[in-house]
Amino acid sequence: MGVTIEDIAREAGVSIATVSRVINKTKPVSAQLRDRVYEVIERNHFKPNSLAQGLITKKTNTIGIIVPDISNAVFGKLTKGINSIFAKLGYTVVLCESQGRLEEEIKLLELQEEKQVEGLLFAGVDVNHTLVKEMQKRDYPVVLVTQEASEDEGVVHTVIHNNEAAMYDAVRFFLDNGHRRIAYLGGPKNDYSSGKKRLKGYRRALEEEGIPVNESYIEQVEFSFEAGYQGMKTLYEENSKLPTAVVTGSDVIAVGAMQYLDNMRVRIPDDISIMGFDDSEFATYIKPELSTVRISYFDEGVKAGRMLLKLIREEEVQPITEYVGHKIIRRSTTKSLN
Amino acid sequence: MGVTIEDIAREAGVSIATVSRVINKTKPVSAQLRDRVYEVIERNHFKPNSLAQGLITKKTNTIGIIVPDISNAVFGKLTKGINSIFAKLGYTVVLCESQGRLEEEIKLLELQEEKQVEGLLFAGVDVNHTLVKEMQKRDYPVVLVTQEASEDEGVVHTVIHNNEAAMYDAVRFFLDNGHRRIAYLGGPKNDYSSGKKRLKGYRRALEEEGIPVNESYIEQVEFSFEAGYQGMKTLYEENSKLPTAVVTGSDVIAVGAMQYLDNMRVRIPDDISIMGFDDSEFATYIKPELSTVRISYFDEGVKAGRMLLKLIREEEVQPITEYVGHKIIRRSTTKSLN
DNA sequence: TTGTAAGCGTTATCAG
DNA sequence: CTGATAACGCTTACAA
């Protein structure tokens, strides 16, 4: 245990410089010495200490990822996408969870700096001015993913799906299918990208169609089954005229809403159509199968990973926002009124 | 960028040793110098390089995790559980995905060693003799989680749910509810813990009850919806006398099986009862709600994390296997025949 | 209480 | 092609 380059050098009867050269193939070494060194390395299971390597080369082959919660399927897929890019390049990932708490996010941003990551993927929740400043203060490039900066548009590298357009398209889908009374059961207000932006898309679609936005058709809740259930309950109880369609902020919210409607003997999609968001694993497991706005978080991770890589290699300069696509998936919870 | 302890020392007019002391509070420093140093540190956003720290102290505050696939909910929850233990202690997690491939697992075991992790949590797939040897070769302690060694029982630290007992209990549940014809639609044969062990529990329960095991009631498939669907199809087509109950290897398999039965107009649970495994998020989203064997992978991560921590602190010596509990959750896919 | 200096395990720069 | 030796940024005896 703890065999070092010096041990190898001594045992092989060469200098540590030579050992280093055979490890890194950085300079020619005679076949004879090379083989001898390799043999000793094998026999002792020698592995170079990457701390020492990183200290001198300034290259750690490490990137960081900060997500609110790794057990959330969205971030699981995202992380997998990111890792798919870096793993094959020999990079390793330092994973941290922030619980979506600002102070924690800042602390982790600093912690990752101490770990000398070469770059960082950051899935924030509300990326306000404070956070943007913190990101810029760092020694390493960071790309924001899954969220965009709420107060400083375009100053920080971002990879995200177009939330406004996605929700716009969802509403547009219902409009095209003859719906006029469309309710919004979306994510929380304090979530800039997945809350505010989507609501904006909802409003825009309605306004473009000349349909006045009915504020009591708007319910903003947490991303959970229970919140979806309660939100639908509010929508149901507080509107004498029910909507014919509901767009939601996530499949989990949608399924909670469906549960409530089922309890109330409201039929889906005959009485009310429901549109989910994300296209979660279970979307096709439930009955009726859930129509939804598909977002590929894996692809988002891949794209963000590629962007970070460019930044690490200094191939990119301007802060830029890149979008990953979305797609309306029609299944069985939506019905045409035409 | 790249401000070092030396820069701070110079600017504060003290020695680097003093700076080190105020950072680590390792030895008393006069209030005057302390404040001066702090001020300079703040102003320059100085963060100690943890590579250099780790190199000299032999303490990296880093642990490794190897899982087959981080987007799989099981490993997401597991990782979250592990991280919940280490994050608050200032430890950081190096996450790697093996795709469940042996060569990759070995490669990552070595890679983590180079990164100087203090310990590792390993979620293998088939932990055979080769892999156990590799684990033991490492400089750091490793605990196996989610799986047990298939060829070397008890030689390596392990945290796992008792797969055999869990499946035994699932079958026992059906037996107690008057079922006699119970089929097994479980995971793949090459998965020691989640495949072989569970099948063993199935057989034991039946044998104890004096019920001869009907081999055509046994189907071993991948952990996927499609495989569950196909497996159920085989069970259905190749048995003139259908089972009254089916125990499955995962909720996903169960839901695939239910889909097939639904297509065949077989009613659940009136014609056939189904028992899932895991208690996935969607178990209560589907209709009827899925009865299942609940495993808390979060708790498993917590327990494994605690064990690794003990090993890192050298408070433990003997390789030991610890089990996390399981629980049969009765919902609506199971019916009593009594 | 403070500073000096010797490492930690590598790579990189020079000579040879 | 090979070997000393000086970094890398930090901690920690050992002195003062």
Cα separation, B186 vs A89, in Å, equals 36
Task: With CB atoms and an 8 Å threshold, state whether B71 touches A73.
Answer: yes
Cα separation, B140 vs B116, in Å, equals 8
Nearest CA in chain A to B259: A285
Express each pLDDT in A54-68 by its tens digit.
999 999 999 999 999
CA distance A162 to chain B (A): 22
| pLDDT beyond 80 at A1 | no
Q: Side-chain half-sphere of A150: how many Cα atoms within 13 Å?
A: 17
Task: With CB atoms and an 8 Å threshold, state whether B55 touches A55.
Answer: yes
CA of A96 to C1' of C2 (A): 38
Going by C-alpha positions, the residue among A261, A198, A187, A196 that lies closest to residue A224 is: A187
Task: With CB atoms and an 8 Å threshold, state whether B73 touches A76.
Answer: yes
Q: Catalogue the E-assigned strands of B146-188.
A: 158-161, 182-186
User: Which of A51, A114, A116 lies at the smallest CB-CB distance from B116?
Assistant: A51
User: Which of B51, B54, B80 lies at the smallest CB-CB distance from A97?
Assistant: B80
Within 7 Å: CB of B111 and strand C? Answer: no
State which residues between 45 and 64 of chain A bring their CB within 7 Å of strand C: 46-49, 52-53, 55-57
A260 token code pair: 């409530």
Chain D nucleotides with an atom closer than 7 Å to a protein C-beta: 1-5, 7-13
Position A209 scores a pLDDT of 96
In this structure, chain B runs to a length of 338
Within 7 Å: CB of B10 and strand C? Answer: no
Residue A51: alpha-carbon gap to chain centroid: 29
Position A126 scores a pLDDT of 87
Determine the 3-state secondary structure of B136 from DSSP: helix
Determine the 3-state secondary structure of A224 from DSSP: coil
CA of B27 to C1' of C1 (A): 9
Cα separation, B320 vs B318, in Å, equals 6
Within 7 Å: CB of A44 and strand C? Answer: no
Task: With CB atoms and an 8 Å threshold, state whether A71 touches B71.
Answer: no
| pLDDT beyond 70 at A165 | yes
- B121 contact residues in A (CB cutoff 8 A): none
Kindly state the DSSP code that residue B140 receives in the 8-state scheme: S
| pLDDT beyond 90 at A123 | yes
Position A80 scores a pLDDT of 98
User: Which of A51, A75, A285 lies at the smallest CB-CB distance from B255?
Assistant: A285
Cα separation, A121 vs A141, in Å, equals 9
- Tokens 């209709």 appear where? B287
Instruction: Suggest the residue from A4, A24, A47 to mutate for an interface test with chain B (most B CBs closer than 10 A).
Output: A47
Express each pLDDT in A45-102 by its tens digit.
999 999 999 999 999 999 999 999 999 999 999 999 999 999 999 999 999 999 999 9
The answer to whether A298 and A80 have CB atoms below 8 angstroms apart is yes
Nearest CA in chain B to A90: B111
Query: Residue A251 — very low, low, confident or very high, per pLDDT cuts 50/70/90?
Result: very high
CA distances from B282 to A34, A73, A282 (A): 57, 12, 6
Instruction: Suggest the residue from B44, B47, B139 to mutate for an interface test with chain A (most A CBs closer than 10 A).
Output: B47
Which amino acid type is present at position B221?
A: V
The answer to whether A90 and A97 have CB atoms below 8 angstroms apart is no
Q: Where are the alpha helices (DSSP H) in chain A?
A: 5-12, 16-24, 31-44, 50-57, 73-86, 102-114, 129-137, 163-176, 197-208, 225-237, 251-263, 297-312
Express each pLDDT in A261-286 by its tens digit.
999 999 999 999 999 999 999 999 99
B206 token code pair: 């039946």
Nearest CA in chain B to A280: B282
Q: Could you list the mean pLDDT of each consecutive 10-residue stretch along chain B, which spans 338 residues?
A: 89 95 93 94 95 96 98 98 97 97 96 97 92 93 94 91 98 98 95 94 98 97 97 98 98 98 98 98 97 98 97 85 97 96
Task: With CB atoms and an 8 Å threshold, state whether A83 touches B70.
Answer: yes
